[in-house]
Amino acid sequence: MNTAPAAGPVLAVRDLTISSGPVELVSGVSFDLARGERLGLIGESGSGKTLTALAAIGLLPAGLTARGQVLVHGQDLFRISERVRSALRGSRVAMVFQEPLSALNPTMRVGKQIAEACRVHRPASASAARARAIELLERVEFPDPARQARAYPHQLSGGQRQRVMLAMAIAGDPDVILADEPTTALDVTVQQQVLALLSRLAAEEGSALVLISHDLAVVSGMCERIMVLYGGRVAESGPTRQLLTAPRHPYTAALLATSAAVTLDGGGETPRMVLPVIRGQVPAAGAFPAGCPFRNRCDRATADCEQVPPLAPAEGTAHRVACFHPVEEGTDVRPAP
């Protein structure tokens, strides 16, 4: 991985707050993404993970207001014109969506769609773009790229469509690839292939990767740093290893306990054992409690938690927690193997 400190982070999000009218959907999210780094964004519904990703590429839906800064290649996406933003999309920041069927034009052959993506950033003749498209299809492991370029999206399988999306994403040689639940809609065997491909492509391109998922297992295998979102705020962020072996935020710990209990290896050997759960459920947007959004589901909450806990480093490490009563350092929450 190419880390060039002089170049600074390829993506810097500072105090991002996204609101729909009076309701804050994302509050005060900040993070930096270094060149070639892989960040996993973990969250359930209402966590704000998708909105954060959309903000990072400047594609927030109309009707939402956003504050803060999103710095790509030194430019704040919120302060530049749409024309400049479009130029950055694809060439600096690219996105892979969850459901490729809706992200692809059903009436256009896939080869042509990839060629379109190429020509946006590198003006070229139609035939040159077509050649590049076939080249990209080969890179995303299509066995017969010249022929398969002529297929329509509905003629391809889910995994193939997602690979077409990957081809379109790398067409502009982006610095950052945002992948929003790229494999959630796919079969598990296909998921494995697509994730491996994503990993390889990011490495080859030297791109940083933001992998958004609800699945801790997926993210643990692919990313060296994880950020956990809950209720629109960052609950915890840190190196994967630390976060997964010794989580400090009660929500992370609970999520980890649940994921580790229902698993193929280790986990609970007893069938149908009682799983650890987080009481209550994720509130609807706008219904999160003031202060720490997790406090109405947390056994450790006290009156202190009515204030928003700041995201602070834990003992000078890169691991940061937003909690007034973090889980004790060194507690291993995984069920015994």
Q: Which residues bind another protein (CB under 8 A)?
A: 44-45, 158, 187-192, 195, 214-218, 220-221, 240-241, 244-245, 250, 253-268, 271-284, 287, 296-300, 327, 333
Q: How far is the CB of 18 from another protein (least distance, A)?
A: 20
Instruction: Give whichever of 124 and 261 is closer to another protein, judged by the CB atom.
Output: 261
Instruction: Give whichever of 71 and 324 is closer to another protein, judged by the CB atom.
Output: 324
Q: Are strands 233-239 and 312-313 parallel, antiparallel or unpaired?
A: unpaired
Q: How far is the CB of 255 from another protein (least distance, A)?
A: 6
Instruction: Give whichever of 44 and 99 is closer to another protein, judged by the CB atom.
Output: 44
DSSP per-residue codes, 223-267? -SEEEEEETTEEEEEEEHHHHHHS--SHHHHHHHHHHHHSSSSSS
Q: How far is the CB of 254 from another protein (least distance, A)?
A: 5
**Nearest residue to 195 via CA among 206, 204, 208, 186:** 186
Locus of tokens 């643990």: 220
Q: Is 166 helix (H, G, I), strand (E, B) or coil?
A: helix
Instruction: Give whichever of 93 and 333 is closer to another protein, judged by the CB atom.
Output: 333
**Gap between the Cα atoms of 297 and 234, Å rounded:** 16
Which distant-in-sequence residues (6+ apart) come within 8 Å of 29 by Cβ?
13, 15, 16, 17, 48, 52, 68, 229, 232, 233, 234
**Nearest residue to 198 via CA among 185, 215, 179:** 179
Q: How far is the CB of 112 from another protein (least distance, A)?
A: 27
Q: How far is the CB of 159 from another protein (least distance, A)?
A: 10
Instruction: Give whichever of 125 and 189 is closer to another protein, judged by the CB atom.
Output: 189
